[in-house]
Amino acid sequence: EDNKKESRGALVVLEGLDRSGKSSQCSRLVSYLEGHGVSAELWRFPDRTTDVGQMISAYLTNTSQLDDHTIHLLFSANRWEKRSLMETKLKTGTTLIVDRYSYSGVAFSAAKGLDIQWCKAPEIGLLAADLVAYLDISPEKASERGGYGGERYEKLDFQKKVAESFKVLHDASWKVVDACQPIEDVEKQLQEIVLNCVTECRKGKPLSLLWS
């Protein structure tokens, strides 16, 4: 239908440290949008359901060991294998609320000491987010929240390095939300920012590509 073709969905990415509240805010956002008549889906990276995703999961749970460059490229491949579906969903009017994306990909690998330009290279040509909302919390505060789950990167010293690389990656287009506020306040702020973004995309803001 012509109408459908005219209004595309928005690619919304939530980023932040582990325990910053991304996952709960992502599901709340999807319910909120659906309640406002916006077709929306919750996505997450890594997507552990694919073959590549299972290799990533084995690495994160310490059941396999991989070279830092190798795992970086697997995370990227895991986004590439979802790219065409992502584009189809957006073009047919579905908004995607994505729990981590290329920005985590670069931030976590750069935190290990890999060159940031090298980290960005395999992401070139993926769809760029229409909105990156960064849930801001200090590594210390995050680690005090109910403890980490025991996966490979869930350690305070490493999360401090990740926070530093997010600072380097961060640009003026990102919306930074204070993740230490009560959960309902974070939720309200996100709702407003995301709804604005959905409206802009509906009006015809073109999709763009990484790394821009």
Residues at the site binding Mg ion, with contacts judged by CB under 5 A: 18
In degrees and rounded to multiples of 5, residue 132 shows phi and psi of -110, 115
Helix (H, G, I), strand (E, B) or coil at 138: coil
Q: Are strands 95-99 and 40-44 parallel, antiparallel or unpaired?
A: parallel
| CB closest to ligand FDM, residue no | 105
**In the bound complex, what is the minimum distance in angstroms from residue 15's beta carbon to ligand FDM?**
9
**Residue located via tokens 């910053």:** 20
Q: Pick from 77, 80, 153, 155: which binds ligand FDM (CB under 6 A)?
A: 153
Give helix 68-80 / helix 102-110 axis angle, nearest 10°. Answer: 180
What is the DSSP-derived secondary structure letter of residue 47? -
Q: Which is nearer to ligand FDM, 38 or 55 (CB)?
A: 55
Q: What value, to the nearest 5°, has the Cα angle with vertex 81 and ends 96 and 50?
A: 95
* Of 80-88, 98-106, 132-140, 197-205: span binding ligand FDM (CB under 6 A): 98-106
Q: Which is nearer to ligand FDM, 95 or 109 (CB)?
A: 109
Lay out the sheet containing 11-16: strands in order across: 40-44, 95-99, 11-16, 131-136, 175-178
Distance CA 73, CA 120 (A): 10
**Contact between 20 and ligand FDM (CB under 6 A)?**
no
Distance CA 186, CA 177 (A): 7
Instruction: From the list ligand FDM, Mg ion, none, pick the one residue 148 interacts with, judged by a Cβ distance below 5 to 8 Å according to partner type.
Output: none
Q: Pick from 19, 82, 100, 120: which binds ligand FDM (CB under 6 A)?
A: 100
| CB closest to Mg ion, residue no | 18
**Contact between 105 and ligand FDM (CB under 6 A)?**
yes
Instruction: From the list ligand FDM, Mg ion, none, pick the one residue 136 interacts with, judged by a Cβ distance below 5 to 8 Å according to partner type.
Output: none
Q: Which residues bind ligand FDM (CB under 6 A)?
A: 18, 45-46, 60, 75, 100, 104-105, 108, 153
